[in-house]
Amino acid sequence: MAALKVGVLISGRGSNLQALLDAAAAPGFPAKIVAVVSNKADAGGLERAKRAGVPAFAIPHKDYKDRESFDRAVDACLREHGVEFICLAGFMRLLSDWFIGQWADRIVNIHPSLLPSFKGLHPQAQALAAGVRLSGCTVHIVRPELDSGPIIVQAAVPVMPDDTPETLEARILTAEHRCYPLALRLIAEKRVHVEGDVVRVDGAAPSADALFHPKAV
């Protein structure tokens, strides 16, 4: 089976991009990163892509009159490089309904919370303010509503009593770097099936283990 050709959209340093690049470089991985696009010319992730030998492009959103015209430029770039599927990795732009429609159920995002809780900006601070004991990350199919769509993979991490948004972010990020390559592998192996607002994963082995936090002593 030919490797799934993936485009990654970024805006910043690209740590999740690096996790995807590393996974895709492994023998037998069923997906290949064929293009990286950033809306910011100074995004550190562009250099990560170049070091990996992946074509990298800056398409500054400020050069376009509106969201859809920018999205059309991104769409053209992705199609020129044969992209079949899109991963958002710290891409800090809302996508237009037009773009999402063009790539229906072929865009995934990773968000640093256990969706549907704590959507939008600063989810780690939202989690701390709510006093939750567990937070985590979610890989999901992108739909027009912000941080919504069928969930593919989630990972939970404990929230510590002395956590700050920064320490919680770092703990969640470690989980993100495992979740995103896993989700992409499942997608590329054609094991992910979108059924309305729910994802079914063929051959998945759900864990029955429960994580209790705090534990009684």
Question: Catalytic positions, please?
Answer: 111
Give the dihedral sign, CA 54/60/66/69: negative
Neighbours of 150 (CB within 10 A): 19
User: Which residue shows structure tokens 């732009």?
Assistant: 93
Identity of the residue numbered 56: A
For residue 22, CA distances in Å to 3, 13, 32, 34 come to: 15, 15, 10, 13
User: Which residue shows structure tokens 């991009």?
Assistant: 17
User: Which residue shows structure tokens 């490089």?
Assistant: 81
* Cα 98 from Cα 102, distance rounded (Å): 6
Taking Cα atoms as reference points, which of 171, 159, 6 lies closest to residue 89? 6
To the nearest 10°, the Cα dihedral for 42, 46, 50, 53? -170
